[in-house]
Amino acid sequence: MNIRFRLIPYVIVVFTLMNCTNTLSNETNVSLQTDIIRIKVDSLLKIMTLKEKIGQMNQYNGFWDVTGPAPTRGGDAEKKYNDLKNGLVGSMLTVRGVKEVRAVQKIVVEESRLGIPLIIGFDVVHGYKTLSPIPLAEAASWDLEAIKKSAQVAATEASASGINWTFAPMVDISRDPRWGRVMEGAGEDPFLGSKIAKARVEGFQGTDLSASNTIAACAKHFAGYGFSEAGKEYNTVDIGTSTLHNIVLPPFKAAVDSDVKTIMNSFNDLNGVPATGNAYLQRDILKGKWGFEGFVVSDWASIKELVVWGYAKNNKDAAKLAVLAGSDLDMESHIYVSELENLVNEGHVDEKIIDDAVQRILTVKYELGLFDDPYRYCDETREKEVINSQANHEAVLDVAKKSIVLLKNENQILPLKKEGQTIALIGALAEEKNSPLGSWRIASKDSTAVSVLEGMQQYTGNNLIYKKGADVSVGSTSFINEVKINTKDKSGFKEAIKAAKKADVVVMVLGEHGFQSGEARSRTDIGLPGVQQELLEAIHKVNKQIVLVLNNGRPLTINWASENIPAIVEAWQLGSQTGHAVAQVLYGDYNPSGKLPMTFPRNIGQIPIYYNHKNTGRPENESGTPDFVFWTHYSDVENTPLYPFGYGLSYTSFEYKNLNLNKQSFQINEDVHVSVDITNTGDLKGKEVVQLYIRDLVASVTRPVRELKGFELVELEAGETKTVNFTLNKNLLGFYDNNGNFIVEPGDFKVFVGGSSYADLSKSFKVANNLPR
């Protein structure tokens, strides 16, 4: 019997409420729809057994071919299968494809007592089949609409394949490029990270979560994961409350304010308490102070890992600590379904805690429309039409071009001439069709990217010679295995050098393999892997007209290249359309406009290095003598980064002038209006990301030397001038104190506007009020 027929006492009430929605305003209508869902959820909770409730808090990974015979040989697989039939599973992950999803959904809907549908989760991080650039690359576009569109493409394809929930976006702020998962986030800045979090949540979820082409988003990892010590995966985190509230939490708050439906907690501890068992994070801040109404899912087996951390005595203790702390859904620990019932019956966990978690999970299922139609995401015709469509590839090509950052271009070696030259294309990554897909693309088919070689072959006016030079990796690469780097084989150097000698220009595609970044891909040396640096220097000896195209998932230490190579293009791992995007930028059919979302260090010893650092008490060599030692610096390298946050060049040039404020003194509740003129002083049309930073000169908690508080992407014809306007309100001038309270203090401020975090056009202003500090 279908579940709708088991809820007869509530049908009349709900039907009456639904009939009222046609005559109400949108805001009231949304509120009424929420009330309807609440009534439905409450009614369902009343007829659920405790065991069934706990089943909704249990998530299993796909464990057998669901379109084939059911497991019958005992063991874990058969137990999971029986749990599905008995209503003891609320969600599954990594089950994908319409046939597979329909099959597993059919088991719970038609065979379990209540027929509650599953929510199907998957890591749709930067696309499903058609892949966008890795998220860090997308962040370099600073184009929020393009990033939102990228998430929409991912949601459209994933939902067409039966999936209705993604474990994305990752909104962790990180200052350490050794951490492999920087590729999955938006970089080092909380303001930019917050804007991108909002764009991605809105892209995934759309305006109607019940539509068949949207999916529930999941902001992760809550919280502090990006500050893992030494950039090492799954490591401890030790940060102060100022960093927590001002740097780590703002993107999560932006996601919650954007109505993100789920939050994933993290593998790290914070103040000695693992995040999965951290009530301060999940109960006090997320569900309490912020009023988050969705549900919290653990990361993979992180509830069980409470025991390994030494925080829980055993699995039973781990279940208790996690559920009391606010973890609603257990991903692949199998602990809730085995331990929670006894904990409730023994009085260790109040059933109201269970009810709260289940209410949150069921609400999202209702909002997804799964109760109205459990198979709404299971349309095989739509799956065939949507996956890898031409429109999707056009969208990811667009964001790929926007994600490329021009780091250096001496003597205008770029753009390349379209005819009459011999161009040597060197580097194994130039012909790679797998690596450019990047990490976290587990649904996409291997080796489906357009290679840089293929992209450049579309331009037929030059004589293009390709030579590999040297492999980056040795043997096969996969999502679950370490990448073995080529540190010895230089047998291809000779042919590459020979080609370079004949060339007018050499394009070298070097960097990391796509699986050298991502989860568990921490590195202590973030230079060019293997023999690539030697290859670069060998080519440079015979031809100095080199364009270095970087493929990578993190900032790299490329100090030698920056000093010696005339043109450097940061091309990241750009997904399915990598080759076309790179070629169109190299040949000038697209003028690069990307800006770095993360600082590039000069060497590994500078890490962590980030633009919004504190001033310290001794920021400068005040004596002015070269050998004076007692100030904040290194003895072997300057303090500045190789390339700062917000930096990126264009094939044209821009001039900033006439920075103005509407006045010099403001009350706390007044808006500060800032304007600046920007002129395209070059010969080509181009885009520039105009960036605004502030500095709070004196505060009760020391503030950074600069903080990004606004940006606008402006397109200008050659010679054109535009006035760009910004508004600084009290929400942008304030900060969080060490107790997590947002405050705005009177005092002196400076505002900076320009094309990077090194913007030098500045004005001062004062904020005053009659409130005590």
The two structure tokens encoding residue 488:
């010895």
Integer Cα distance of 455 and 94 in angstroms: 33
Distances (CA, A) of 567 to 471, 544, 735: 22, 10, 40
Sequence-distant (≥ 6) Cβ neighbours of residue 411 within 8 angstroms = 566
| 408 membership: H or E segment, kind and range | strand 405-409
Distances (CA, A) of 613 to 608, 609, 645, 714: 10, 8, 12, 28
Angle (CA) 97-98-102 rounded to 5° is 120
Buried/exposed code over 375-401 (b: 16+ C-beta within 10 A; e: otherwise): ebbbbeebbeebbebeebbebbbbbbb
Distances (CA, A) of 61 to 82, 92, 160, 312, 686: 14, 6, 20, 24, 47
**Phi, psi values for residue 487, rounded to 5°:** -110, 0
Integer Cα distance of 212 and 325 in angstroms: 33
The two structure tokens encoding residue 556:
């790299």
Half-sphere exposure of 371 (CA within 13 A, CB side): 20
The two structure tokens encoding residue 475:
């043997």
CA 593 distance to own-chain centroid: 20
| 330 membership: H or E segment, kind and range | strand 330-331
Count other C-beta atoms under 10 Å from residue 215's C-beta.
32
Integer Cα distance of 378 and 116 in angstroms: 16
* 3-class state of residue 430 by DSSP: helix
Integer Cα distance of 185 and 446 in angstroms: 23
**459 burial level (CB within 10 Å; 0-12, 13-18, 19+):** middle
| Single-letter code of the amino acid located at 187 | G
Pairing mode, strands 567-570 and 405-409:
antiparallel
Strand order from edge to edge, sheet including 567-570: 405-409, 567-570, 546-551, 505-511, 422-426, 463-467
For the annotated catalytic residues, the residue numbers are 299
